[in-house]
Every structure is written in structure tokens, then in C-alpha cells.
Structure 1
Amino acid sequence: MTSLSVETLAADAVEPITSAGNTQLGIAVLAGIAVIVLLITKFKVHAFLALTIGTLALGAFAGASLGDTITSFSTGLGSTVAGVGVLIALGAILGKLLADSGGADQIVDTILRRASGRAMPWAMVLIASVIGLPLFFEVGIVLLIPVVLLVAKRGNFSLMRIGIPALAGLSVMHGLIPPHPGPLVAIDAIGADLGVTLALGLVISVPTVIIAGPLFSRYAARWVDIQPPERMLQTLEKRPSDETDRRPSFGATVATVLLPVVLMLVKALVDIVVDDPENQVQKVADVVGSPLIALLAAVLVGMFTLGRAAGFTKDRLASTVEKSFGPIAGVLLIVAAGGGFKQTLIDAGVGQMILEFSENWSIPALLLGWLIAVAIRLATGSATVATISAAGLAAPLAADMSTSHAALLVLAIGAGSLFFSHVNDAGFWLVKEYFGMDVGQTIKTWSVMETIISVVGLGFVMLLSLIL
């Protein structure tokens, strides 16, 4: 994975594309973000176009020439796609194999068969967390909603008691754990170690998802005691995995999903224990545990453990791979444009301005990164846009950080990007409609859950920063 090094960031900050002072730069940043927010929220412009136009506005307000702004944007766009584009594509292939082969259904059915009534919320958070590792949030929701509705109906559970744990599992994975686009871009921008970020992300995610999922669902079910909407139940049909009823086994499915995570964690562990770049074991671990190789290995293994096990022919496998790219086209464009916006921020000297601001106001870097992400999340409604933009602004803060603290900065930004989803977030309306709630009920449940994830995640980030 190509990553933007701290040295590169520092070098870029020495020769900014504008001579504007901090006041003008601050106005330029606010103007650029305001343009993005207005275009996305009021005029419903696609985030890719909004980020592109917002970048041009940023450069104009900062006094940079149009040519320099375009060069910075193009450079950032290209480096971001080079760094994370392939990883997003590989993750999409793995997710599509998991869904189409029936592997996701196998995980769901196996865990639910073994879960008692009281354990059902815990089973749902486990299912969502495992399935959420390779799947985008929206795909995970579409995949799990039928299960959530049917379990709530057949077990006579409050919908919130089952639904909140599932949503929490998906949301935490989306915001904190690579290979999801937001964390990947933040890792790339800040120059953090992916293995360390993944390891710390898992440490933070477990207690966070427990608090925001099964524990909070008890209160959410009291505040909003609703049953699955009949209109949704009537449309549920058994989703055939393929022309055949064959499915991959539970063990093979889980092993395939966790393979890239294990490989990247092994690399991080070897780097810590061996700590010798010339050591052959570390050299092998560095290659095998690199995100590209780890995800590629999982995809290749998945073609056999998931695709072939479900009876897929070679043509069916090829079709599954091809169809996996369509849904991620928009994500890739948003991520790429966000990378361009981030690079323009860096080249304009905004990073140095942020550094001076944090020193003058004595705001801890981790808290500042979280606050920036929260502000952009509230304004744009997009966790991905918030993560990308905040990572670009906060990247210089990592210049003197240790490996673990740079990873914690990524996680702080990821946690901030999930803060209080509301009416400008597509996920808000997706949850509202699937669960048959009104706006007030959705805020009491989904929005509060997202805020709990964000605040609790930050709390554990700050706690780990005191230990590491």
C-alpha cells in the first residue's frame, strides 16, 4: 500500500501553493467545506462533484492559482486511488462472493440456531460484526435487514432489541476497521501503520460495539417499542444463493472472511516482536501481511471456499467478480475526490495552521482530530467524507507521533465520523424506512446509537493513548 509519509507531508507544508496567512487560510477552509456542505445537502449534488468544486473554492479563497489547485487536486486524487482503490475493489469482490454464495446466510443461520432468546441481541451483534468486516455498510444493511425483521417477528422481540445490535456491529466496522474506505484513506493520509491500526481498532471496537449494541438496545427498545413493519415482512422471500441450494460451510466462510485480518495482524505482531527489517521472517510477514496481498489472498481463497463450494461455475465466478465493481464506482470516486481535497489542504499550508492552532489552544491532537471529523460529519452527513477531510486536516499532527499514537489518531477521526447521524445522512433514511419508524423514533434510536459509538470510541482511544 502506498502511503503518504510524514516526511512528504512536512515537505509539502514547507512550500505551500499560496502565501496566505492563517486567517485567510482559515476562511478558505471554512468556505471550501461550506461549499461542499451546501452542494451535498441543499442542492443534492453528488459528493464527488461537491468535493471537486469545494476544492476549487478552497484554492480560490486561499489565493492559490487555478493551475496549482488543479495540480494538487489531481495529485491527491491519483495517490489516493493508487493507495486504496485496489483494496476497495478487492474488498468488494470478497463481499460479493460472501453474499452471492450464501456464505453470509450460512453465518447467520448457524449462529441463530445456537442462540437462545436472551442471547439473541449478542448473536446479532456478532453476526453483523463478522459480516461487516468485508462489506460496505449499505450492503450489510440490505443483507441483514431481512434476518433482523424475521428474528424479531418469530421470537416476538422488540425490533430495537434485535436491530440496534446489528446496526452497531455494521457501523463500528465501517468507521473503525480497514479495509473499509474511510479508515484506509485516513491511514494513507496520516501515514499510520495499517496492522497496528487494525489491531488497536479491534481492541476499541469490541467494548464499543457491546455498549452501543446489546446494552443500549435495552433502552432503545423501551423508548421505541415497535414490531417489524408488515409491509416489509410481506416482501421477504428466501434469497437463493445461486441456481443450486449448496452453501459453503460455516467454518470455511468465517475462515475466509477473517483471513486478511489475521494476515495483517500477524504482520503487525512480527514487526513488534522481531523489529529487524533484514530478518527473513519479517520480510515474509511484511509481504504476506500487506493489505494488497492479504485481501488478494482472501479473494482467491474465497473463489474456492465460497464460490466453488456453492457450485459456481467459472463463468458464474467471473460474473460475480464483474458485478461487484458496479456498486463501488461511486465510493471510489468520492474517496478519490476526497483525496484531492485533502492534498489541496496540505499543499495550501492548512496543516501548519492546524498545528499552530492546536499548540496555542492546547487541544490534544487526538481530540482535535475527533472534533474536526464530528464537525464535518454533522455538516455533510457522510462518514466517508468526514474521515477523508478530517484526515487531511489532521495529518500534520502525526508528524512527531509514535506508531501507536498515529494509529489512534486514525481511530479518533473514524469515531468522530460516526457522530449523530441525522436527516442529511442517507443511512438515517435507510434505517428509518426499513424499520418503519418516524423521524423522531429514528433519532432516539439510530442517531443516539451512532453518537454512543462515537463518544465511547473516543473514550477508549484516549484511554489507550495514556497506556501506549
Structure 2
Amino acid sequence: MTPVLAAPAEPLTNAGNTQLIIAALLGIAAVVLLIAWGKVHPFLSLILGAAVLGVVAGVTPDKIVTSFSGGVGSTVGGVGLLIALGAMIGGMLAESGGADSIVERVVARVSGGALPWAMAGVAALIGLPLFFEVGVVLLVPIVLLVSRRVDVPLMKIGIPALAGLSVLHGLVPPHPGPLVAIDALGANLGQTLALGLLVAIPTVIIAGPVFGNFIARYVPATAPEALLPTRRPLTVAGRRTGGAADAGRSTSVGTADVGPATGRAADTRPTTPGRGPVDDDGDLVTSDDLVNPGTGHPGEPIAEETRPRRAPALWAAVVTVLLPVVLMLLRAIGELTLAEDTGGRKALDIVGTPIVALLAGVIFAMIFLGYRTGFSRTQVSGFLGGSLPAIAGILLIVAAGGGFKQVLVDAGVGNLVADAAKDANLSPLLLGWLVAVGIRVATGSATVATITAAGIVSPLAATLQGPEVALLALAVGCGSLFFSHVNDAGFWLVKEYFGLTVGQTIKSWSVMETIISVVGFAGVMLLDLIL
């Protein structure tokens, strides 16, 4: 993938080095203060930070707007489509119960001692196409239930699951952070994916099962009763409520459960194959038998089909997760082993293009997790569309980060960083990691840290060759995971789901994130010595 945010031939300002350094520091400080102290949304914070940077650097307002808008457009064009397609895959896995089936099958086949390792592996697998928050919502209810059923300390299996999700979120595309870093630095996506998986495996092991076994002795958490998932029958609209996919997301109206996708009352009566839900006398349930969740009266019309739905096959869920990854890896292998003018190389270049690979995953999920399991075309379309609103905020943050980064580059700040690193004889990988660490601790956002750090060190990518650019993207990703604390939404998500105190969350989750960052970066430096 070629860089889309290159430095202009001439900077937009004639400011001296000192002024540019001050501008960069004030711009970054503005973003940090607005997010951490002012509680301003990161999207607005990045816009205002870019304005501060440009004004202090002496860039005229019209050029600030032009530079920022260009960065937004380039970033959305290069990353936005991939984020949307990845969200669709995650939505189909969640709504079909495919993610649930993977978790349950693994848990059913492993013993208590192997559960931490199984949960880490399952979380890593599930985490490939899912955003961290979605993965938490899917996996944590299962973790809570497993902990209760087999009487295993919650932290012993909870930390491995969180580690699997977090490592994939920070290091492996198609997650937003890695994609933005790849795009900004001009790294090869296939190489970054392959190297990221190599770094991820030992990192998940150390930060997951190993650390989980240790911290479970000091954080005696128990599964909160209110968050334990329970299984309920099919809704009349044809989809199951409850279980991992819906735990913690459905609401209750009277005695009827309301499914999150349709907002309609769930029918708790049995079903007859080929007919749909039936009442106690064996008669087919009609819309007149349903309770309108908004009014409490019967007669709510149901537009969707009432046929029962089959559980998705395990192989279909696994293939949905792995298909885009395999296609992108095949392209990377083809680039290393096949000549450019061969038919096989051209075919792999096409099918391994990120957009094509993710689109293939979406289509596969639509067929084998949707239509083949009994969902109607309307329902499948609703699941895909319903997965997009949740990523709107992420897309805006990523876009604004791209604009902030472009103002940095166009003002000439990036060249100063490159020159300073060269004069200081500082490793570009170490510089990228340190910058990301600082922004992560200050803002609490891994995505903002990745975006900003990638923009700052992007000029260094021009001095690197081959896999080193991919390793720089991974170094930035590792730094973006360092020490999550109270300014990170993920911190509070973990605290509430596991029923922890702030101190317990710091001892477990925050330390785990720091281990991921340090161990992951150590793996990156080791690969840099080998390659």
C-alpha cells in the first residue's frame, strides 16, 4: 500500500525550526487537554488541535482548511471502506450466533486447566474482524458464565480473553489503528499482517494465560449476577435472543424480552418445524398474540418472517473470520514468490486487495451465516446496516486524525522529527513507540495515539526499506496500547463487566495493557534484528 499523505514539495510556512516545534507541541497539547481535561470528543479535539498547530506555525487559515480537508479525504478513502466492511463481518458474526458457536465449542472441549489458553485463542480468533468494544460485549458474558460453571477464578480466564482482543485490536489489520498506521507510513499490508501475527502470538501468551494465572491470586473477582447470560427461545421475528451475542444488550418490557435488532417482543413459546411459534394448544402464533412493546397491547404487526432459524455451522463462522486474513496473506506470499507478470501473481494481487478480501468475507457471511441459517434477506440487510452506526464515531475520529496528521506534514513538522531522530541516532522504531506511548497515556485513546504518532514519524518511513516500514507500523501500534487508565473508555468497560474496583482494574487490565505494549515492542525489535 502506498502512502497517501506525503509531504508537499514546499512547506506551507516559512517558520523556523523552533516555531515549528512549539506549534507541534501546542497542537498535540491542545488535543490532549481537550480530550483528557475538557472531555471534548476526540473528533472535535483533533480539528481544534490542527487549527492551533497551523496558526502557531504561521500557516494561513485557508491553507489550514485545505490541508486538513485533504488529509480527511485521503484517510477516509484509504481506510474508511475497510473499517465499514470489517464492521459488517463483525455484525453478521454477532447477530447469527457464529461467534457464540466458536466460543461454546472450544469451551466444551477443553478442561479447566486449559481454559485460559482456550479463551485467549478464541478471543484472538474472534478479535480478527471485530472492534475491541464489540469483542468485549460478545466474549465477556461467555467468560462470566464459564467462570461460574467450572468454578475457575474470573481473572484467570478473563485476562486471556481481554489480551487476545486487545493485541489483535492494536497490531493486526483490519482494525482501524493498524490500517491508519499502514496507510500513513506506506507499509505493505500483507507484510504488516504477517509480521503482526508473529508478534501477536507470544504477546497474547505472556499477557494472557501467563499473567492471568498470576493476577488471579491478587484480584479475587467474581462474575456479577446481573451480567450472566441466559438463553431464551427464538423471537417471533425469527432470531434468537439471549446467549453471548445478546447478553447485556436486550431490554425488558413487562415479562417480554425485546430483541435489540427489531425492538419487538420475544415469544417464549415453543416452535413447530416448518410452522413457526405455537401456543400451548399447538395453534400457530399470529401477530394478534403478540404484545406490542411500546403500548403493552396485543396486535403488533410483524413484517419479518416467523420461521425458525438453524444455528450456524461452526466451520462457517471460522471461515468467515479467517477468509479475509487468508486472502491477504496469500497476496503477501505471492509478492515474495511469484514474478509480477504471471497470471497467478495477478490473481492473488486482486483477491488479496484488502477491500476485495473483506468484501469476500461479507458475502460469505451473508450466505452461510445469514440465508443458510434461516434469516430472510430483509433481516440480513438489517444486520449489515445495523453494524454501521456503531462505527460512525470511529470513522470521524480516524478522519480527523488524518487531517491533523496532514497539517503536521504540510507544515514541515514531520521533517524536523526525522532530522532530530537522525541527529540523535535514535531508532525510528523506538521513536514511534515512545511517541505513541506518550499520546496514549495522555489521551486514553489507542486510535488517536496511533493516528498522531504515525503522522509524526511518517517521514522516517522514507528512510526505511521493505519489512522495516511494516515493523514501524507495528511499533506505533504497540505504543498505542500502553497503560490504559481512567481516561480510556475500555478501562471502564472492563471495570463494569467484571465488577471490579478502580484499584483492581488498574492491577489487572492496566498492567495487562502495559505488558502487551512492552512485550509486543520487544518482539518488533527482535524481528528487526532478524529481517
Q: TM-score range by the shorter chain?
A: over 0.9
1:237 aligns with 2:230: yes
Please, which runs of 5 or more residues in structure 1 have no aligned partner?
none
Separation (CA, whole Å) in 1 of partners of 2:15 and 2:494: 44
1:173-192 alignment to 2 at 5 Å?
173-192=168-187
SS in 2 for 1:222: coil
Moved segments of 4+, more than 6 Å: none
Between 1:289-298 and 1:36-45, the stretch displaced more is: 36-45
Contact kept, 8 Å, 1:182 with 1:383, in 2: the verdict is: yes
In 2: Cα distance, 1:218 partner to 1:362 partner: 40
Cα offset for 1:27?
1.1
CA distance in 1, matches of 2:372, 2:157: 30
Using the TM superposition, give the Cα deviation of residue 240 of structure 1 relative to its aligned residue in structure 2, in angstroms: 6.5
TM-score between the two structures when normalised by the length of structure 2: 0.85
Task: Kindly indicate whether residue 510 of structure 2 is the aligned counterpart of residue 447 of structure 1.
Answer: yes
- 1:310 maps to 373
Aligned partner of 2:314 in structure 1 is 250
CA shift at 1:305, angstroms?
1.4
Q: Which residue of 41, 45, 49 corresponds with 2:44?
A: 49
Partner SS state of residue 220, structure 2: coil
**How far off is 1:238 after superposition?**
2.3
CA RMSD, aligned part only?
A: 1.3
Which residue of the partner structure matches residue 37 of structure 1? 32
Q: Which among 208, 230, 235 is matched to residue 213 of structure 1?
A: 208
TM-score normalised by length of structure 1: 0.96
Which secondary structure state, in structure 2, belongs to the residue aligned with residue 118 of structure 1? helix
Say if 1:78 and 1:336, in contact at 8 Å, map to a contact too.
yes
Quick one: which amino acid aligns to residue 3 of structure 2? L
Q: Paired residue for 1:4?
A: 3
Once residues 513 and 232 of structure 2 are traced to their aligned partners in structure 1, the CA distance between those partners, rounded to angstroms, is 29
Change over 3 Å in CA distance of 1:303–1:337 after alignment to 2: same
Larger mean CA deviation between 442-451 and 240-249 belongs to: 240-249
Distance across 2 between alignment mates of 1:239 and 1:34: 50
Match of 2:473 among 401, 405, 410: 410
Query: How many matched pairs?
Result: 460
Percent of aligned pairs with the same residue?
A: 60
Give 1:245 shift: 4.7
| Highest RCO, 1 vs 2 (Cα 8 Å, sep ≥ 6) | 1
- Please give the per-residue CA displacement for 1:346-386, whole angstroms capped at 9, x wherever unaligned: 10111110111101211100000000000000110000000
Which of 352, 358, 362 lines up with 1:295 in the alignment?
A: 358
Deviation of 1:309 after TM superposition, in Å, equals 2.9
Alpha-carbon distance in 2 for matches of 1:318, 1:355 = 47
1:36 shift after superposition: 0.9
Higher helix share: 1
Q: Which residue of 1 aligns with 2:56?
A: 61
Contact 2:3 2:187 in 1 (8 A): no
Distance in 2 of aligned mates of 1:126 and 1:240: 29
1:33-432 → structure 2 map (5 Å cutoff) = 33-233=28-228, 236-238=229-231, 242-243=239-240, 244-274=308-338, 276-432=339-495
- Partners of 2:447 and 2:373 in 1: CA distance: 33
Output the CA distance in 2 between the equivalents of 1:230 and 1:23: 58
Which deviates more from structure 2 when the two are superposed, residues 21-30 or residues 344-353?
21-30
Q: CA deviation at 1:61?
A: 1.2
| Cα deviation code 1:383-439 (max 9, x no counterpart) | 000000000011111102122000000000000000000110010011111111111
**Contact 2:35/2:443 (CA < 8 Å) preserved in 1?**
yes
The offset of 1:279, in angstroms, is 2.0
Distance 2:463 2:499 in 1: 49
Counterpart secondary structure, 2:6: helix
Q: Which residue is 1:465 aligned to?
A: 528
Cα distance in 2 for residues equivalent to 1:52 and 1:381: 18
Aligned counterparts of 1:196 and 1:371: Cα–Cα separation in 2: 23
Do the aligned residues in 2 keep the contact of 1:102 with 1:310 (CA within 8 Å)?
no
Q: Which moved more, 1:140-149 or 1:20-29?
A: 20-29
**Contact map agreement 2:309 2:375 (CA 8 A) in 1:** no
Once residues 428 and 401 of structure 2 are traced to their aligned partners in structure 1, the CA distance between those partners, rounded to angstroms, is 21
Which one is further off, 186-195 or 317-326?
A: 317-326
- The Cα of 1:237 is off from its aligned counterpart by 2.4
Q: What displacement does 1:332 show?
A: 0.5
CA contact (8 A) 1:247 1:309 kept: no
Aligned to 1:119, the other structure's residue is in SS state helix
Larger radius of gyration: 2
Deviation of 1:219 (Å): 1.2
Q: Counterpart of 1:265 in structure 2: which amino acid?
A: L
